[in-house]
Structure 1
Amino acid sequence: MMNLEELRKTLHQHPEVSGKEKQTSVFIVKKLKEIGVTQVHENFSEYSLLAEIDFNSPGKTILFRAELDALPIEETNQFTYQSKNKNVSHKCGHDGHMTMLLGLAEKLIEHRNEFSGKVLLLFQSSEETGKGAKNILKSKILEKFNIDYAFSLHNVPGYPLGNIITKPQTFTPSVESVDIELLGKTSHAGMPWKGINPASAIRDLINYFTSIHQPDVTQENYFLATPIYIQMGEKAYGTSAGKATLSYTLRTGEHKKFVQQKKEIIHQIEKTCQRENLNFSLQWKEAFEANNNDPEAFELIRKAAEANQYSFTEKEHFFNWGEDFGAFTQQYKGAMFGLGSGENTPELHNPDYDFPDQLLPYGINMFYSLSKKLLQ
Structure 2
Amino acid sequence: MWKQLGFPLNEATAVKIDSNSITSFWVTPPSLMNTCIENIRHYLHAQPELSNQEKHTAAFIVNCLQESGAKRIITGLGGYGVAGVFSGRETGTRVMLRAELDALPISERGEEREWCSQNEHVAHSCGHDGHMAILLGIAKRLACTPPTRGEVVLLFQPAEEIGTGASAVINSEKFDTSLYPDVAYALHNQPGRPFGEISIREGAFACASRGMIVRLYGRCSHAAHPEQGLSPVRTMRHLLEELEQLPQRLFPSEDLRLVTVVHAQLGEVRFGTTPGEAVIMVTLRTATDALMQPLVEAAREAIERMTQETGLIYDIEFQDVFTAVFNDEQATKDVIHCAQKCGKMLSLLQAPNRWSEDFGVYSAVCRCAMFLLGAGEATSVLHDSAYDFPDALIEHGVEMFWALLNEQRLFDN
- What TM-score does the superposition give when structure 1 sets the normalisation length? 0.94
Q: 1:141 Cα deviation (Å)?
A: 3.4
Residue in structure 2 matching 1:226, options 260, 265, 286: 260
1:258 lines up with 2:292 in the alignment: yes
After TM superposition, list the pairs within 5 Å mapping 1:125-136 onto structure 2: 125-136=158-169
| Counterparts of 2:77 and 2:357, CA distance in 1 | 21
Residue 131 of structure 1 and its aligned partner are, at CA, apart by: 1.3
Tell me the equivalent position of 1:81. Answer: 115
Does 2:222 match 1:199?
no
Counterpart residue type for residue 109 of structure 2:
T
Q: CA deviation at 1:213?
A: 4.5
Find the partner of 2:157 among 118, 121, 124. 124
User: Alignment partner of 1:334: what SS?
Assistant: strand
Q: What SS does the aligned partner of 2:52 have?
A: coil
SS across alignment from 1:240: coil
Matched, 1:248 2:294: no
Query: In terms of mean alpha carbon deviation, does 320-329 or 161-170 score higher?
Result: 320-329
Other-structure match for 1:270: 304
Distance 1:81 1:203 in 2: 45
- Secondary structure in structure 1 of the residue aligned to 2:91: coil
More helix by share: 1
Which digits, 9 at most, give the CA deviation of each residue in 1:80-132, with x for residues without a partner?
2221112211111111110110111221232225x311111110111111111
Give the aligned residue type for 2:220.
T
CA distance in 2, matches of 1:12, 1:110: 26
Is 309-318 or 102-111 further displaced after alignment? 102-111
CA deviation map 1:158-217 (0-9, x unaligned): 112111011111111001111111111112334333322112221221221132246xxx
Taking structure 1 as reference, are residues 257 and 87 closer, same or farther at Cα in structure 2, changes over 3 Å only?
A: same
What does residue 186 of structure 1 align with? 220
Q: Which moved more, 1:193-202 or 1:97-106?
A: 193-202
| Inter-partner Cα distance in structure 1 for 2:173 and 2:290 | 24
Match of 2:88 in 1: 55
Matches within 5 A, 1:322-333: 322-329=356-363, 331-333=365-367
Matches within 5 A, 1:146-161: 146-161=180-195
Corresponding residue of 2:245: 211
Instruction: Note the aligned Cα RMSD (angstroms).
Output: 1.7
Shift, 1:235, TM fit: 2.7
- Residue equivalent to 2:3: none
The reply to whether residue 138 of structure 1 matches residue 171 of structure 2 is: yes
Match of 1:30 among 47, 63, 67: 63
Structure 1 equivalent of residue 104 of structure 2: 71
Q: Which has the higher contact order (CA 8 A, sep 6+)?
A: 1
The 2-side partners of 1:96 and 1:228 are apart by 28
The amino acid of 1:12's aligned partner reads H
CA contact (8 A) 1:108 1:368 kept: no
Alpha-carbon contact 2:257-2:291 (below 8 Å) kept: no
* Structure 1 residue runs of 4 or more that deviate by more than 4 Å after TM superposition: none
**Residue 222 of structure 1 aligns to which amino acid in structure 2?**
L
Q: What's the counterpart of residue 27 of structure 2?
A: none
Q: Distance in 2 between matches of 1:149 and 1:72?
A: 32
| Structure 2 residue 46 is the aligned partner of structure 1 residue 6 | no
Residue among 78, 82, 91 paired with 1:45: 78
Amino acid at match of 1:287: V
Structure 1: gaps spanning 5 or more residues: none
**CA positional deviation for 1:143:** 3.5
The one-letter code matched in structure 1 to 2:304 is: E
**Alignment partner, residue 174 of structure 1:** 208
**In structure 2, how many angstroms separate the alpha carbons of the residues matched to 1:75 and 1:235?**
31
In structure 2, C-alpha distance between the alignment counterparts of 1:111 and 1:94, rounded to whole Å: 25
Letter of the 2:88 counterpart: F
- What letter matches 1:134 in structure 2? S
**Sequence identity of aligned pairs in percent?**
34
User: Is 1:335–2:385 an aligned residue pair?
Assistant: no
Corresponding residue for 2:353? Answer: 319
Amino acid at match of 1:322: S
